[in-house]
Chain A
Amino acid sequence: MITRQLGSEVRWMLRRPRTLIGLFGLVLVPIVISFGIWTADGDGGGPGIAAILRGNGMVVPIFTLFLSLNLLLPLVASIWAADGLAGEAQHGTLRGLLVAPVSRVRLLFVKLFGLTAMSLFAVTLMAVVGIIAGTAFLGNDGMMTLSGTTLTTAEGLLRIAFFVVLVTFQMVAVGAVALAVSATTEHPLVVQAATMTSIIVFQVLGQFSSLDWLHPFLITTGFPGLVDVMRDPIPFDQISDSTLLAGCYLLIGTGLAAIRLVTKDS
């Protein structure tokens, strides 16, 4: 029963025109980046990972995801979360599901699963396209790390897979909080606006060093630390901090969404 519900949820998400457009947009990012670096003259493309992109196609997926995590991926996660509960309420389909009946906790689980599955799919898709585009435009001679060492292609793929999981988890954490918002309203746009505003405000707040007491509470603080995947050997402390931070958001988001759903009149 639950597997067919989960399957139905993912199929439903994949059938949305909006989802397809979003995925198409996401896939363009690594292609544009690879092409851009390929055509650009001179040295590497700038600070951080961008500097080691040249001739290092395997880094494209990491760079793409790292870049997209700041805005694009939270946006996509918020859209899925918004459609998941607020959108269903708007179309009147939430009532149908509840009367079927699907228990409210199960419904939240189904929605969370859909969000996770689609996030993983989107991130993996970006990574795969990134590997292909990066290899095509920039070449593939193993993966050069920020530490100046060169990993074999197999090691590089492992790093990419690890990064895909980390990024997906961050995305799901954002999505879980968006789901909590989604459970309170019938307007998907409100959910997206609230989520994106928070992400942007968090990032702005992160710039003020006078607010450094606040920074450890902001999920966006954890984003840059994920770049450590590109160091060799990988230092795990920042990565685990970021992941724990996202985990806290996931717990809070899911808990609030559950409370709201269980007490909600539909």
Chain B
Amino acid sequence: MVDPVNALMVFGFIVIGLTALFITQKKIVNNIRRTQNDKMKMHVEDALKHIYDCEYKNMGCTLHSIAGNLSISSDKAAKVIAKLESLKLIMNDPDKIKLTDEGRKYALQVIRIHRIWETYLADETSKDELEWHDDAELMEHTISSEEADRLAASIGNPLRDPHGDPIPSETGDIPELEGQQLNTLDEGDTARIVHLEDEPAAVYKNLVSQGLHVGMDITVNKRDKEEVLFESEGVSRSIPPVYAANVTVVKFEASIKPESYKKLSNLKIGEKGKVIGISKACRGQQRRRLMDLGIVPGTVVSAEMVSSGGDPVAYLIRGATIALRKSQSEKIYIEERLSEVSN
């Protein structure tokens, strides 16, 4: 008979080996894909994206900014620029790198695929927001624009990606940049978040963990060198001004105040409320499901009972008793509590 101690040891080694393989597997697969995809093509496309982004935001674009953005050496970046020039995708003026019409078209195509893929991930999968970007970075070089068009059609030709960036149309149309950075707002200003920059990832992660999302209305309470303090959805939040620069907002006219609202999750058993809307953070299938159930502005909803575990809570919605989880009910906005509303 096999000695049990030896058997266990051999087994242990196999498990460690497999785990190691599993952890490195993703990296290996990515590397293989990259070499197959031709690294140069990837760099060219990424560089085009970066130059386009600079032009869109009216910032200067240099060899160094390209090297930094693509995480490659300056030598390598110079090669990429030379390649772009030889393909007639850019014009290299002595002081500034500019896209040709051909180059702009190409850049918009790559951006379109990237943003469509992010929208697809946000709407039709359970991947969380921190994974969207990296996944899309890979896909934009992998799928063809015809495949992207089909994908876009299948998710209803979205206009904007989940970060609020406009998705270029098939013909390459894209609207003007709008809004201003959050750190340029004054105290007392009210505004709506229209864009969250997803690079660098660390900053984006912080913004997401603070609960920020596109479509959120905010009121700035305080702004100084250390922090931007603002209120939204009844909660006070604070972020460093550097981080706030990655949030784009559109200011409301001074006369307009964002509506004051509660969340459905704030309702106590027996209370009623009128739905104002569903948060933009609730997307795709989940959003459609809630609307199918009749959660649209004007619907009166009452909290009926709590399950024995505390979550979910059952609500009476248009004559049907529907259980919703807390993660859903806190994304549904209602008017101030109405103790007695006639149905």
Partners in one complex: no
Give me the interface of B with A, judged by CB distance under 8 Å. none
